[in-house]
Amino acid sequence: MMEILGIPAPVFLGQLLLGAINGAFYAVLSLGLALIFGLLNLINFAHGTFYMLGAFVSWLGLRYLGIDYWTSLVVAPLAVALFGIVIERTMLKRLYDLDHLYGLLLTFGLALVIEGVFRQLHGASGQPYAIPSALSGGVNLGFMYLPVYRAWVILASLVMCLVTWLIIERTKLGALLRAATENPDLVRAFGVNVSLMITVVFGFGAALAAFAGVLAAPIYSVNPIMGANLIIVVFAVVVIGGMGSIMGAILSGFLLGLVEGLTKVYWPEASSVVAFMVMAVVLMVKPAGLFGRNA
């Protein structure tokens, strides 16, 4: 059997694939987090909750309304975006003039409430979500077995990240957005409705998280705490990448997923903490983060 660095190739590549999938989720989540942070100066603690909501909306939709996976992929992010917009308009809006810590605390409270409600209603155990038939099965690549759905998750996340990046870096809307991130008052003076922009960006960030949630539903079981565990790692990703750059958030997400996968091969015990260890090292060497512009 072929070996890579002393490990049988299928095992090595299998872990790398798992790492890439986790990395895809990290990338999509930290991308949304970075977008929201840029414009709102808010660390959205409820981002993991939006991810969980995305998964739950698609599970509930399938079970009670017969909404299939493909429709969910559009509907669930829209629903969660709407929810996010309501939150932004009714609560977060009141906090923009205060210390940024209050936004963090408010979204933390929100996360507790929403996760508590779902735990009360559905218990802590996971609900299975079947892989859509078009994406079931796998391909034997000769050196490893590649489940189609996993390939799809990576592809879909990559496309989503790239589209978002293109919108922000290459369109007029994106240019306005970047300008508003730099100096909202000036952009306002040019007659741009910045508060509408803030609302839309928050909704879009929530939608991204929910999109990741729908993608995750068939891989992990759908449960109320799936987001809470993930978001802390995503925070580490964000610190590693530096909030300043969109591409930084995407790259460090995938990178960290792969590092985690490799750690699972060589030092399984450390795989759950490797993200935090990398974060600590990056902070000591380059406090602004790998792609960050300033501290």
Q: How far is the CB of 260 from other proteins (least distance, A)?
A: 13
**Which amino acid does the sequence have at 292?**
G
Q: Is 272 in the site for other proteins (CB under 8 A)?
A: yes
Region near other proteins per CB under 8 A, out of 70-78, 180-188, 192-200, 230-238:
230-238
Rg for the chain, CA atoms, rounded: 19
Site for other proteins in 97-126 (CB under 8 A): 98, 100-102, 104-106, 108-117, 119-120
Identify the CA nearest to 227 among candidates 16, 23, 25, 19. 25
Total residues at the site for other proteins (CB under 8 A)?
45
Partners of 172 in the β-ladder: none
Binding of residue 173 to other proteins (CB under 8 A): no
Burial label, 47 (beta-carbon count in 10 A; 0-12, 13-18, 19+): buried
- Is residue 225 within 8 Å of 115, Cβ to Cβ? yes
Residue of 239, 250, 258, 259 interacting with other proteins (CB under 8 A): 239
Q: How many CA atoms lie within 13 A of 28 on its CB side?
A: 31
Q: Which residues pair with 127 in a beta bridge?
A: 222
63 binds other proteins (CB under 8 A): no
Contact flag: residue 232 with other proteins (CB under 8 A)? yes
- Rank residues 14 and 48 by Cβ distance to other proteins and give the closer one: 48
Residue with tokens 């512009």: 293
Our finding on whether 290 is near other proteins (CB under 8 A) is no
- H or E element in which residue 76 lies: helix 69-90
Helix (H, G, I), strand (E, B) or coil at 138: strand
**Residue 236 is a binding residue for other proteins (CB under 8 A):** yes
- The piece of 56-64, 168-176, 196-204, 268-276 that touches other proteins (CB under 8 A) is 268-276
Residues interacting with other proteins, by CB under 8 A? 37, 41, 43, 91, 94-95, 98, 100-102, 104-106, 108-117, 119-120, 228, 232-233, 235-236, 238-239, 243, 269, 272-273, 275-277, 279-280, 283-284, 287, 295
